[in-house]
Amino acid sequence: MTSPSRAVSILLAASAALLTASSLAQAPAPASASGSAPASASAPASDAPPPPLRPRPSSGCAADTDCKGGRVCREGACADPADEEDEEEEPAHAAIGDACKEDADCEAALVCAQAKCAVPHVKPAAPANRAALYYRTGIGVAGDIKNPAPSVVLGLDLALGISPHLRIHVDGAYVHMNGWNGFRFAPLGIGIPFRVFELEEEQLSIEVEPLLSTIDVTGLANDTLHSLALGLSQLVSGNVAWKRLYGTLGLGFEERYWILVGDNIGTHGSTAAGVDFVFRLGVGLTF
């Protein structure tokens, strides 16, 4: 049987144990290493969503405030505000026939003329200068001067381009006609060229050129006689130019009036006139 003193000791020890356990249960939990309160002591979470975070590219911008020097943020990159004005759509330009005040109001390649957009007038260039060696022959078809055998004329024609539709020809040649030999000199021929075909890339062109020789002097002589004649000639030439090469083919008429006929003794006053049908073929160069 347990003695009364031993029973008292057991009761005292049990009471002390109960007091210690009760003290530990009521003590607050220790703080975490980061200093935050325990989950049981934290404030309840709010129902409102958190504020959105503004993305900022590592090498760009998200707003104008991310840029410096007065620049603005456009499509994630800082840019000069003046660039935005350049990117604005240009106003529409007027077409041919539309009203305008200046060339800038019209479409490209148009000009403002008399308050309307129009194609600019381009002044054509003057025709190139040309030099050609030619063969020319003629046979009498009318008049007192009989030329039954074709004449032979070998000459040089120098053509100078004055304007787009004007050429001046200077012509000198050797003449053999019916046993007579001499010269022909035509210092003032007027040509009016018209271009009818052109391949600019190939440098090929074809033109038609009416040619009037206004002063045509011919001097002929044989063993006993000599003569001098003044005349006119009209030709229509077809000219072909390829790069610097040049060819011509002409048909026309020549009228001659013989004013001086002489022999070894002196000059006689007999005169005569005649008309020849003329064919001319020439080749040369442009310059």
pLDDT tens readout for residues 151-162: 999 999 999 999
d(CA 181, CA 174): 8
> Residue type for 249, please?
L
Q: Which of 286, 211, 275, 202 is nearest to 249 (CA)?
A: 211
Co-location of 139 and 248 in the same domain: yes
Q: Are strands 204-221 and 267-268 parallel, antiparallel or unpaired?
A: unpaired
Task: Report the amino acid identity of residue 262.
Answer: G
> Is 260 found in the same domain as 134?
yes
**Contact of 193 with 209, CB cutoff 8 Å:** yes
Q: Are residues 86 and 219 in the same domain?
A: no
Q: How far is Cα of residue 33 from the mean position of the Cα atoms in its chain?
A: 80
Evaluate whether residue 13 is within a structural domain: no
Q: Which of 7-11, 108-112, 243-247, 266-270 has the highest mean pLDDT?
A: 243-247
In this structure, are 158 and 187 located in the same domain?
Answer: yes
For residue 54, being part of any structural domain is answered with no
109 and 137 fall within a common domain: no
| Host domain of residue 277 | 130-286
Domain final position from 52, 85, 118: 118
| 207 and 114 co-located in one domain | no
* CA distance to 216, 226, 241, per residue, from 187 (Å): 7, 22, 24
Q: Does some domain include residue 58?
A: no
Query: Contact, 192 vs 166, CB < 8 A?
Result: yes
Cβ-contact 225, 262 below 8 angstroms: yes
- Residue 201 domain-assigned (yes or no): yes
Q: How many distinct structural domains can be found in the chain? A: 2
Q: What is the reported pTM?
A: 0.57
Would 166 be classed as within a structural domain? yes
Question: Residue 94 pLDDT more than 60?
Answer: yes
User: Residue 101 in contact with residue 115, Cβ under 8 Å?
Assistant: yes
Between residues 187 and 91, the one the model is more confident about: 187
